[in-house]
Amino acid sequence: MLIQEYPITLACEALGCARSSYYYRPQAEQDAALRTQIEALATTWPTYGSRRIQAELRRQGYSVSRKRARRLMRQMGLQVRIKRKRQHTTNSDHPFPRYPNLVEGLEIIRPAPDWDRGGVADITYVHLLTECVYLAVLMDVFTRAIRGWYLGRNLDQELTLTALRRALKNHRPETHHSDQGVQYAATAYVETLDAHQIAISMAEVGAAWQNGYAERLIRTIKEEAVDLTEYRDYQDAYDQIGHFLEDVYMRKRIHSSLGYLTPVEFEQRWVSSTSPGVVS
């Protein structure tokens, strides 16, 4: 005998259950499927909040609101809590020239095959089992793409110079923005920027928010890679961090600022939409 042959209210009374439970059953079944997928996503991306989890679910074909994703994540105990350690990497007490902040209020409106409107740079530390090493990165603001990086054992000029030289192989920013640390103000670094006709911009001392794009990039690297991994040694750290930056960050990690695309996807779409003969 089918329930559909009787009014829902009468059938639910006969079965001793609330009428709402009849309508909720499909939702509960769908939630179970979503929980499975959310668990898989949270395992892959342990620092993703509900906004990015929702975006990933939609990329995989699920129709789900952020409110629903947030509710399920809360029920599953998937709130993100990252305990951060801090170590000082900026030494602004040096005799080299300082440069004004050229990017405050600047609108970044384009990338290009060989010119970036604005590049930002920063340094962070990475604790290994027996030593501390340092990571220098350069990022294009418009696409959020990593242009250059280097992991070094010393917090010296070669650290940032190596990352810069790598970036300049295929890209050149119109403006290079950083803090006033000695690694960015030293003669060899400045001369390299001058040789490529790159304008030099620096945040004021103690004003980390003036290099906010780079600060957020460093936070992402720390929270989603460094803080979640125990590196055996320098080579292991170099290999795994390189994999995260070049493969995971660039090709798999979606960015809310890019419309929930990866940097590679975003740049490819932008270049395609602005190529001659392409109707946007």
On whether the CB atoms of residues 111 and 270 are closer than 8 A, the answer is yes
Structure tokens at 179: 């803090």
pLDDT at 279: 42
Q: How confident is the model at residue 110 (pLDDT cuts 50, 70, 90)?
A: low
pLDDT at 258: 92
pLDDT tens-digit readout, 37-67: 888 888 888 878 888 888 888 888 888 887 7
Task: Give the CA radius of gyration of the chain.
Answer: 24
- The amino acid occupying position 220 is T
CATH 3.30.420.10 in the chain, residues?
116-274
pLDDT at 177: 95
Q: What is the DSSP letter of 245?
A: I
On whether the CB atoms of residues 183 and 144 are closer than 8 A, the answer is no
Q: How confident is the model at residue 27 (pLDDT cuts 50, 70, 90)?
A: low
Gap between the Cα atoms of 137 and 166, Å rounded: 10
Of 209, 221, 250, nearest to 84 by C-alpha is 221
CA dist 202 → 92, 159, 205, 227 (Å): 11, 18, 9, 28
Strand order in the sheet with 173-178: 146-152, 132-140, 116-127, 173-178, 199-202
pLDDT at 166: 96
pLDDT tens-digit readout, 124-160: 999 998 899 999 999 999 999 999 999 999 998 899 9
Taking the complete model, does pTM exceed 0.75, yes or no? no
Rounded to the nearest 5°, which phi and psi values hold at 140? -85, 125
Secondary element (H or E) of residue 149: strand 146-152
Q: What is the DSSP letter of 46?
A: T
CA dist 45 → 78, 119, 272 (Å): 11, 26, 29
Q: Is 38 helix (H, G, I), strand (E, B) or coil?
A: helix
Q: Is 96 helix (H, G, I), strand (E, B) or coil?
A: coil
CATH class for the domain made up of 116-274 = alpha beta
Structure tokens at 134: 């340092």
Strands 146-152 and 173-178: unpaired
